[in-house]
Structure 1
Amino acid sequence: MTKFSQYNFNDAINKSLKEIHFDEPTQVQEAVISLVNKKKDIIVQSETGSGKTHAFLLPAMNALTDKQEVQLLIATPSRELAYQIYEDTQAILKNYPEEYNAFIFVGGSDRERQKRKLDAHQPQIAIGTPGRLWDLIRENDLHVENVQRYVVDEADMTLDMGFLNDVDSITNKLPENREMMVFSATIPQKLEPFLKKYMHGPQRVEIKNGTVIPKNVDNWLMFTHGRDKKEIIYQLMTIGEPYLVLVFANTKKTVDEIYNYLRGKGMKVARIHGGLSPRERKRTMKQVENMEYQFVVATDLAARGIDISGVSHVINAEIPVDLDFLIHRIGRTGRNKMSGTAITFYEPGEEHKVDEIEHMGIKFVPKDIKNDEIVDAVERDRRVHRKADQEKLDTKLVGFVKKQKNKRKPGYKKKIKQAIDAEHRQQRKVRIRQDRRQERDERRKKNNS
């Protein structure tokens, strides 16, 4: 089994690794560190929580010199993720000489102060959100002409949040011979032109989990039956002794509603969403890390950009519009091989969404709450829904079924089943399109109100 001690890191890094109790590399770290050392352009596809931050930090920091110039540049789409990487960097720099520095540049912070700091001296490591990094580079405050290694972290999220133009501008200002590393949970097709434009024969690394949901995470499904979800969340929080509960909702409005309801019940609860000021979000995160809060309600901003240690329970109050986000949400619990529980709510009419999630390879165990206890449940509601779908077959399909039965030719049963399956797939596609259209319209109305 590989140990970090085998990588010939400098004494400062080895001492820091010992202090943060890092002994053995994760799968992604083992795959990536040697490639970074060889200065290879790499595209790494790996899930959140796999340890990819240290996969690029450790070898890149091992190559730093004491020259007061930016040698490692890291662009990441959210302030929270930038702060997380910055803190990981500081934990390693702790045992370096004082002339080694990392600076963080994010929106919502004092740009003039950042400029004065850069006038004094340039750091070896610059970490930030694309918009702020580009502003400082464009105005010649942050000097990137000697960058040796360039990291684009959470590239799919960068694309989703509309930051790719800024990243494109930043990349265009870097030296031609710099090493470029792109890390992402997924590699969307829309990202490929950017990768081809700037990367030189990149080596692709894909780390696949054995299962979509780790075996140490209990993955439950709860049918709300039109009940008040806020009340169910309160019940789940007060059954047993959860260590740290992270509740996800799709919108800031819903987060606020759950937050206010739980506070009204006398619970000490935190909230995290994009409507809060950067200072307030940072303060809240620090309080959560210090275990001042046991319950946190958040939007998907937290699923991709925040690493909260010790989450024992994740509650999905709503199924996310982008179903891939469910994996990132559930990935907040069960970290470091600890046990965890993920609970997903679904309402009447959302059975097809559950079907789609299961088609992604995510398996659920149906649960319910009775007499203040969590019990096994029967999925009769979803079966009823499927039966109703079968009863609503297109009239042409009904005629086809009758005709095939009358013909009684060899293989007629197979043809009937294929036709019915095709009709069901079409019906699901139509429902999904309608639901997503309705959700987009509702979001627009909320944003405009």
Structure 2
Amino acid sequence: MSFKDLQLINPLLKAIEEQGYTNPTEVQQKTIPFVLSKKDVITSAQTGTGKTAAFALPILQLLSDKQDAPRGGKTIKALIISPTRELALQIGNNFKAYGRHTNLRTTVIFGGTSIEPQIDVLTKGVDILVATPGRLIDLQKQEVINLNQVEILVLDEADLMLDMGFIDDVKHIESLCPKKKQVLLFSATMPFKVEQLANSILNFPQRVEVSPTSSVTNNVGQVLYYVPKRNKIELCLHLLRNDIKGSILIFRRTKFGVDKLEQTLIKNGYQVETLHGDKSQTDRQIALKKFKNNEVNILIATDVAARGIDINELDAVINFDLPNIPETYVHRIGRTGRAGNSGMSYSFCGADEKAYVQTIQQLIQIQIPVEEAHPYPLDPKAKAEIHKSKQSGSKHKKGRKSVASKKKKKRWY
């Protein structure tokens, strides 16, 4: 199938060709016809399947006959809500690239940067607005944004949006748009709360499911290391010295963990950048740029910060901390082995993460090969590590307290 078969207009076909694409991906083939026929759509597809174009192209086409503004200026006709700044920028770039031969104007707004330039652009009028929830609500309260003319509302990465606590914001934004509108919801996974949200705001939606989240590409080699939690950093350094080369994305569960690992790797002479929610937008963009331009070869990130970011030609992914949601494992390792390239995934499992391995293996229907020949093996009988204070036992008999300790004791209330 070609893009022409999807009944797309010439200005879009020209832009697609200039972008170097010839055939639509599966998610584009299935989603575009539904959007063009003005149906509500729920699409379940992973990052990297081409889903941004699956809504950008038909939206540009649907709005193309209204692209010349009336005397009142342009009004927001399509609103795309995105959970993270990086994703919002990426979506905005897609709209600009595909819409270059139309007169439709797209802008992106997000927090963490100056609000004035964003107000200037909005005041001049835009057709398509890509926004993160917080900044959108701020600007709407300041009466800079009016959503009365919105015809198409897109919720991208809905599962991540809800994980980040944006559920009330999303419902509020939806209520600011007209009752009669087309709603498109895209999500990598479909947990119950996403289904609940979909049921509350979509009308008889068409469903599109592409490459279920459980499938792991054959191009990615997987290996599992059982290692005590306290030795994970040593194992990481050992593998970086001996086995893992090229561009490497390391996942940690927390921002604190990201920073801690970064300090250790820098001390050991590695070129490292990091991505997490506490970093300013500018710092995040600089980190990504350095990694993409091979100025540094290691990027350490939390799942939220790395979601939806396009990083091609990645040689390896290291799961320093295993995710407690099995689908997240699939997303992480799916970042390598793209576009026909091969890649490797290395996972470190502490005693308290063994249950995660079981749920991951159940989901992907594969037994992940275990590498036992490494310097920091985990005792098979080891239970989850519990940190105890060094002082063992009290010098006083059980139930007896010294007079001094009774005097010092403060009431909790």
TM-score (norm. length: structure 2): 0.84
* Of 98, 101, 116, the match for 1:96: 101
Q: Which ranges of structure 1 fall in alignment gaps of 5 or more residues? A: 372-378, 389-430, 436-449
- 1:419 corresponds to which residue? none
Instruction: Map 1:35-434 to 2 at 5 A.
Output: 35-65=34-64, 66=67, 67=69, 68-93=74-99, 95-97=100-102, 99-119=103-123, 121-209=124-212, 212-225=215-228, 228-239=231-242, 242-363=245-366, 364-368=368-372
- 2:28 corresponds to which residue? 29
Question: 1:316, CA displacement in angstroms?
Answer: 0.4
- 2:12 corresponds to which residue? 13
Q: 1:261 to 1:324 in 2, by over 3 A?
A: same
Amino acid at match of 1:44: T
Q: 1:324 to 1:8 in 2, by over 3 A?
A: closer
Question: 1:225, CA displacement in angstroms?
Answer: 4.7
Distance in 1 (CA, whole Å) between partners of 2:16 and 2:241 is: 38
State the superposition RMSD in angstroms.
Answer: 2.6
Amino acid at match of 1:190: K
Question: 1:71, CA displacement in angstroms?
Answer: 1.9
- Which of structures 1 and 2 has the larger relative contact order (alpha carbons within 8 angstroms, sep 6+)? 2
Give every structure 1 segment of 4 or more consecutive aligned residues whose post-TM-superposition deviation is greater than 4 Å: 368-371, 379-382
Equivalent pair of 1:303/1:325 in contact (CA under 8 Å)? no
Out of 105-114 and 309-318, give the one that drifted further. Answer: 105-114
Q: 1:210 to 1:148 in 2, by over 3 A?
A: closer
Give the secondary structure class of the aligned counterpart of 2:97. Answer: helix
Amino acid at match of 2:118: Q
Equivalent pair of 2:220/2:344 in contact (CA under 8 Å)? yes
Residue-by-residue CA offset, 1:294-337 (whole Å, 9 max, x unaligned): 11011112342422122121000011233332222112112223
Equivalent pair of 2:25/2:49 in contact (CA under 8 Å)? yes
Equivalent pair of 1:303/1:328 in contact (CA under 8 Å)? no
Question: 1:211, CA displacement in angstroms?
Answer: 5.5
- 1:3 corresponds to which residue? 2
Question: 1:53, CA displacement in angstroms?
Answer: 1.1
Identity %: 33
Q: Which ranges of structure 2 fall in alignment gaps of 5 or more residues? A: 387-413
More helix by share: 1
Distance in 1 (CA, whole Å) between partners of 2:42 and 2:371 is: 39
- 2:411 corresponds to which residue? none
Give the secondary structure class of the aligned counterpart of 1:182. Answer: strand
Give the secondary structure class of the aligned counterpart of 1:307. Answer: coil
Residue-by-residue CA offset, 1:36-69 (whole Å, 9 max, x unaligned): 0100001111222222111111111122232322
Amino acid at match of 1:291: N
Equivalent pair of 1:122/1:143 in contact (CA under 8 Å)? no
User: How many aligned positions are there?
Assistant: 378
Out of 28-37 and 206-215, give the one that drifted further. Answer: 206-215
Equivalent pair of 1:243/1:310 in contact (CA under 8 Å)? no
Residue-by-residue CA offset, 1:273-309 (whole Å, 9 max, x unaligned): 1121121112212222223221101111234242212
Q: 1:118 to 1:226 in 2, by over 3 A?
A: closer
Residue-by-residue CA offset, 1:90-117 (whole Å, 9 max, x unaligned): 2223x325x4321111111222332222
Equivalent pair of 1:122/1:142 in contact (CA under 8 Å)? no
Amino acid at match of 1:215: N
